[in-house]
Amino acid sequence: HTKAAAILVSEPLEGLPIACLVTPNPYLMFAKALEFFYPPPRPRPGIHPTAVIDPTATIGANVTIGPHTTIGPRTQIADHVTIGPGCSIGPDCTIGANSLLHPRATLYSEVTLGQRNVIHSGAVLGADGFGFVFTNGAYEKFPQIGRVELGNDVEIGANACIDRAALGVTSIGDGTKLDNMVHIAHNCRIGRNVVIAAQTGISGGVIVEDYAVIGGQVGIG
């Protein structure tokens, strides 16, 4: 009874009055079909006049920078990057080619994004790790002077937070996907092609190896 012109199947089905497109992975091919029929909008390259860009920053070719975005000193933006309205990019950051920052994403200083990264609205990369020393009845801040590094093809969900390392690097491997409201604490090392669902919190110094799958609301100490 379907009104579809064709269906995607993993093996041929006999006796159907419509075309069967046989593929080992119908779900993947359906995603590719959706991309074909509904391509994401591509904004026209250019820098909005309300954007504030430090003169020492480097901006590549065919870059789009939306209104009220700020870009700090010595930051490098590669070719074909899209930065939405209201983003804040701190000093000494690097954003790889073909990356997309949705509105109001925030990168503190010394955050490195690989190529084809997607950072959703409200995500914060490079905020201080939660490091304090208890002395004389009070907490004293332990300086968080490390950095954050993301590989290629990483996607960070809305309102997620990846803290900078206290010393060294907090790193996210190639192909890893973080859902909304995920918190990665300082000095974590997340491997390649890891998926982490919403409201998961990972404590400082945790190592998650390649291809791990972590469900929603998981807490890791």
Which sequence positions are flagged as catalytic?
Answer: 186
Token pair recorded at residue 2? 């379907």
Contact of 200 with 177, CB cutoff 8 Å: no
Distance CA 215, CA 179 (A): 10
How many CB atoms lie under 10 A from the CB of residue 157? 20
How many CB atoms lie under 10 A from the CB of residue 28? 11
Nearest CA to 217 among 177, 170, 180, 176? 180
Sheet containing strand 177-178, edge to edge, reads: 46-47, 64-65, 82-83, 100-101, 118-119, 155-156, 177-178, 195-196, 213-214
